[in-house]
Structure 1
Amino acid sequence: MPRAKVSTVVLDAHDAQELADFYVRLLGYEVRREEPGWVLTGPADGDGVSLAFETEPEYVRPVWPTRLPGDQQMMLHLDVEVDDLEGETTRAVAEGAVLADYQPQDDVRVLFDPSGHPFCLWVETEE
């Protein structure tokens, strides 16, 4: 049986470089490859999922949570585990993220990146 694995998640944006720069700062990733309208980033140690960003001139920001029929729905979101939820939330906002108005859980912070993609910062909690 052939082996398959997800190696890269690609996010569309109005400006691939701007969004790549945000995630490089947020995650400590490095740029691995660039082409006009496309940037590949990943962890410096090579261990983990790469993120790529593609310029899409007709990109429409998603709405989360969806409010009305016909809203552009989010198609995915990234979960980012952190040690210090409040500190990393503050840092993410300083880097250009926007804190969502609706926060469904105490151990998770929902934010939007500069292109409007939702992502979650979360911290391991003891049960």
Structure 2
Amino acid sequence: MSVQLKLRAITLDCPDPEALAAFYQQATGLDPHPGSHGEFAGLTGEGGLLIGFQRVADHRAPSWPDQTVPQQLHFCFGVADLDEAESHLLELGAGKPDHQPDEDRYRVLTDPAGHPFCLTAN
């Protein structure tokens, strides 16, 4: 018997779920999840995939590329123009670490809670 798993949700720990959901909503255009409340906020993607953000007391942001506080996971987003997407996301509140392994192929940014994510050229 073969068991197939269907990914339903990805949830990130953070200090401010509503603020982080707002950042990713502006960045991706995903719809707010109706079950959002003070301790949890979510966005609904294609096929019902939920990206969730949950409040964690004493959240420690990842310290990428240093692994003192590991990144644990990161998103990769395909974009048509790396420079344009980077500029837009920086305006929304993303950060850009000094360490960029291969800026011609992809960019590493951090969301407002410090989670690293990548932009890759389509």
What is the TM-score with the length of structure 2 in the denominator? 0.90
SS in 2 for 1:47: helix
% of aligned pairs identical?
A: 30
Which of 78, 81, 88 aligns to 2:78? It is 81
1:80-121 C-alpha deviation (Å, 9 max, x unpaired): 000111000000000000111111112101000000000001
Asked if residue 60 in structure 1 is aligned to residue 60 in structure 2, the reply is yes
- Tell me which amino acid in the other structure corresponds to 2:58: E
Q: Aligned partners of 1:55, 1:47: CA distance in 2, in Å?
A: 25
Question: Mind listing any 5+ residue stretches in structure 1 that lack a counterpart?
Answer: none
- Tell me which amino acid in the other structure corresponds to 1:121: L
CA RMSD between the two structures: 1.4
User: Deviation at 1:40?
Assistant: 1.6
Q: Aligned partners of 1:7, 1:13: CA distance in 2, in Å?
A: 20
Match of 2:87 in 1: 90
Tell me the matched-pair count.
119
User: Deviation at 1:42?
Assistant: 1.9
Question: Mind listing any 5+ residue stretches in structure 2 that lack a counterpart?
Answer: none
Does the Cα contact within 8 Å between 2:18 and 2:38 map onto a contact in 1?
no
Match of 2:43 in 1: 41
Q: Aligned partners of 1:4, 1:24: CA distance in 2, in Å?
A: 26
SS in 1 for 2:47: coil
